[in-house]
Amino acid sequence: MGNDKLNYKQYAAFINREVELKDLRSFIDKEPSEILFIHGPKSSGKTTLLYKFLEQVEVEQKLDVKFLNLRKMLTEFPETVDYNDFLSVLFNVEDEKNKAGKLSAGINVGFFKIDSEIERKIRQGKVDPFKVMEKEFIRLKKKGIKPVLIIDELQALDNIYLSNGRQRRLIIELFNFFVAMTKESHLAHIMVASSDGYFINRVYTDSKLKKASEFYKVDYLNKEDVMDWLRNLKKYSKIKDYTLTEEDAGKIWELVGGSVWEIQYLLSRFFEHPIDEVLTLYKKKMKGLIAYYIGVDNRKEALLRIFLDRRHAFIKDFMKEGIPTAEIEELLPDMVRNNILYFDPTEATYFPQGESYRWGIRLYFDGAV
């Protein structure tokens, strides 16, 4: 085939986000002084936004970006990974060629370049890996290059422990290092993204980051942007096989709101099936998802029932319903980890994970679709 370009009926869309791109640019245009926590509900577009941002600024500025998407990198590891697994994510072993013209063996998946001797000493506990990273930041800064470290899906590190007997979570050690690199030494820009706002809040509290970090929320698209997208499918998604009526666009907005991934998922189904059929099946799917999560646990049902007549809830709202404190403390984190609810750490509020989850909760209790 003479043409390597792939052709699709539908392409991933990037809609607006001019405000967010400007805010991220402002963050790296000032001297490093704080960690930026990027949070937002599932499928709000955090990772796509970061990739788009880097695509723009890397052609304009001298940056050295180390982007750790932990959703990708830790999928090959067991559910609970150890310290050495994490080191293989961070460090790339590159030795000089020996006399035989061959390279020494070593891991080759990381972002900070080291030789196999340094790797051995790190694994033996003779060299502090954080000192190795700091040295790299200093080297880049002296060359007039801005170091930028981005960790996406931060919660993937939650089960990693230091192997030095102290049994402190690596995540706490990592953030103590981040504070040193930003607030104290001003060496690197550090951004941390996660859809688990409850986890971010816990790290924020445990690591005493209140005066060394900033929260930044990436929310779902607003109605104006969604409707512009759905009215102009050829422009944004390169869809030529169908167009949507104003009524159809309104139905999609009502069901999934500004969730980019869900909108793209639904659009892909419209090639082969009538729109109303696709939307009805999706409502059934969300109802089933809620039913599966609740199972036979009446406690979960009691907590979710509160969202029948409100869009968000505080802890006190659950307590007013007479739900025991122990159940609230056990179940709310579980609902956030399982992406049933989203916790906003800046407002200490709980929301269903988007409009489709609201539909699922409503239909579960109403018993209809």
Residue 178 tokens read as 């981040």
Residue 68 reports pLDDT greater than 90: no
Q: Which residue has the higher pLDDT, 2 or 330?
A: 330
Q: Where are the domains of the chain?
A: 18-79+127-217, 221-272, 275-369
Q: Which residue has the tokens 């909760």?
A: 361
Q: What is the pTM of this model?
A: 0.85
Q: Which residue has the tokens 């704080």?
A: 34
Question: At a CB cut-off of 8 Å and minimum separation 6, what does 260 contact?
Answer: 13, 15, 43, 44, 45, 48, 220, 221
The stretch 160-181 carries a mean pLDDT of: 70
Q: What angle do CA 123, 124, 125 make, to 5 degrees?
A: 90
d(CA 263, CA 231): 13
User: What pLDDT, on a 0 to 100 scale, did the predictor assign at position 163?
Assistant: 53
d(CA 39, CA 48): 13
The stretch 280-309 carries a mean pLDDT of: 96
Q: Give the model confidence (pLDDT) of 345-355 as tens digits.
A: 888 999 999 99
Q: How confident is the model at residue 328 (pLDDT cuts 50, 70, 90)?
A: very high
Q: What angle do CA 18, 221, 282 make, to 5 degrees?
A: 150
Of 47-51, 58-62, 85-89, 138-142, least confident by mean pLDDT is: 85-89
CB 188 within 8 A of CB 181: yes
* 187 half-sphere exposure, CB direction, 13 A CA radius: 18
User: What pLDDT, on a 0 to 100 scale, did the predictor assign at position 113?
Assistant: 80
Cα torsion 205, 208, 211, 217 to 10°: value is: -30
d(CA 99, CA 253): 65
The stretch 101-118 carries a mean pLDDT of: 57
Query: What's the topology of domain 275-369?
Result: Arc Repressor Mutant, subunit A (1.10.10)
Residue 214 tokens read as 């900033």
Of 31-40, 150-159, 235-244, 255-264, least confident by mean pLDDT is: 150-159
Please report, rounded to a whole number, the percentage of residues in the chain having pLDDT higher than 90. Answer: 56
Q: Going by DSSP bridges, is the β-strand pair 349-352/341-344 parallel, antiparallel, or unpaired?
A: antiparallel
User: Taking the alpha carbons of 107, 113, 115, 119 in that order, is the dihedral positive or negative?
Assistant: negative
Residue 98 reports pLDDT greater than 60: no
DSSP symbols for 324-356: -HHHHHHHHHHHHHTTSEEEETTTTEEEESSHH
User: What pLDDT, on a 0 to 100 scale, did the predictor assign at position 110?
Assistant: 56
User: What pLDDT, on a 0 to 100 scale, did the predictor assign at position 73?
Assistant: 60
Mean pLDDT of the chain: 85
The domain covering 18-79+127-217 belongs, at the CATH homologous superfamily level, to P-loop containing nucleotide triphosphate hydrolases (3.40.50.300)
